[in-house]
Structure 1
Amino acid sequence: MQQIQFIYEQLSYRIIGAIYDVYNNLGPGLKEKTYKDAITIALNKLQISFQREWCVKACYSGVVVGKRFFDFLIDNTIVLEIKIGNYYAPQHMKQTNDYLHVSKLKLAILAYFGSDRVRIKRLVNLY
């Protein structure tokens, strides 16, 4: 049986651990910004390098034709998007895939802070 190898496995586990820690301590029902602020603290405590509200530009013939703002760019390798809700919304998946495409990064983590739990989705850049 072949074992599946995840992209950025160790860093992903640390990020996901931070997300669960935030949810377990704060619980449900808060605003998206509150969870982002708490994740900022958690990532700093874990000494994981990141940039918040990171901007990537889409260019055509040297001209900027669009901008995308990630919630977090972690270690210059992983996009982290934070959402509020109980279900994966198609528009959030599309938005996050768009971020991967424009940035040429390989992996995004989409975290939904719901009323009963946090849901995590890993998205791999297929472009």
Structure 2
Amino acid sequence: MKHQALTEEIIKVFYRVYNALGYGFLEKVYENAMMIELKKEGLFAVQQSPIDVIYSEQIVGQYFADIIVDEKVILEIKAKKHFGSEDEAQLLNYLKSTDKEVGLLINFGPKPELSRKVFDNSKK
């Protein structure tokens, strides 16, 4: 698996934050807590990194990745009851729009949830 060791570290951080904060905060709280823990682990992480969406060689939109870790893995953070196919589609579209190949969708819901996505395209 691509970036397996890195994603395993991120998942450990996710559970550490989940166990400490539990369910019920806004996504931004979990994002900030993840940043603290990722840095404690010595991982390079950037919050709200802008990413352009290109269509027909023109910028048609921009989104902000919640966190990008070691310039390799996009983290999409949710804080809802359950994530669904629309959340997974969002992460896949983020991967399609970048040179990143791996994304983790993590949910700080009533029960912790995570999904790992990999996407290869011509930008890689």
What is the TM-score normalised by the length of structure 1? Answer: 0.88
The answer on 1:121 being equivalent to 2:115 is: yes
Counterparts of 1:61 and 1:118, CA distance in 2: 39
AA aligned to 1:35 is Y
Structure 1 equivalent of residue 58 of structure 2: 63
AA aligned to 2:17 is V
Structure 1 equivalent of residue 16 of structure 2: 21
Residue 30 of structure 1 deviates from its aligned partner by 1.2
The answer on 1:36 being equivalent to 2:31 is: yes
Residue in structure 2 matching 1:106, options 84, 101, 104? 101
Percent of aligned positions that are identical: 30
Residue 126 of structure 1 deviates from its aligned partner by 4.7
Paired residues of 2:54 and 2:97 also in contact (CA < 8 A): no
Structure 2 equivalent of residue 3 of structure 1: none
Counterparts of 1:54 and 1:20, CA distance in 2: 23
Instruction: After superposition, give the CA deviation of every residue in 1:83-126 in whole Å (9 maximum; x if it has no partner).
Output: 012322121111111000000321100001111x2111001115
Work out which of the two has the higher radius of gyration on C-alpha atoms and give 1 or 2: 1
Residue 24 of structure 1 deviates from its aligned partner by 0.4
Alignment root-mean-square deviation, CA: 1.4
Residues matched between the structures, number: 121
Counterparts of 2:86 and 2:52, CA distance in 1: 20
Structure 1 counterpart SS, 2:97: helix
Unaligned residue ranges in structure 1 (runs of 5+): 1-5
Paired residues of 2:23 and 2:79 also in contact (CA < 8 A): no
Sort the Cα spacing of 1:63 and 1:113 in 2 relative to 1 into closer, same or farther, 3 A. same
Counterparts of 2:120 and 2:78, CA distance in 1: 22
